[in-house]
Amino acid sequence: NKIPKLARSTGQAMGEFKKGREQVEEELKDMQESETADSTLDDEDDDLDDLETETDKETSA
């Protein structure tokens, strides 16, 4: 009588653990993607700054 209850509780706990693990994995994936996007934007900003500096030098000369 107690074994089916124990098995049911164990199954529910395993299901909750799986859901939690999937949520954490999804959050980590989202964080990695946003860091990659931020890094790409920073690189583009640096390139734009370099281009503006070169344009300023050419205009001044």
For 41-59, write each residue's pLDDT tens digit.
666 677 777 777 766 666 6
Q: What b/e sequence results for 24-54 when a residue is b if at least 16 CB atoms lie within 10 Å of its CB, and e otherwise? A: eeeeeeeeeeeeeeeeeeeeeeeeeeeeeee
Question: Which tops the pLDDT comparison, 3 or 58?
Answer: 3
Instruction: State the pLDDT at residue 20.
Output: 98
Positive or negative, the CA dihedral 42, 48, 50, 56 is negative
Residue 7 gets the label, from left (phi > 0), alpha (psi -120 to 50) or beta, of alpha
pTM of the model: 0.54
Tens of pLDDT, residue by residue over 13-37, are: 999 999 999 999 999 999 998 888 7
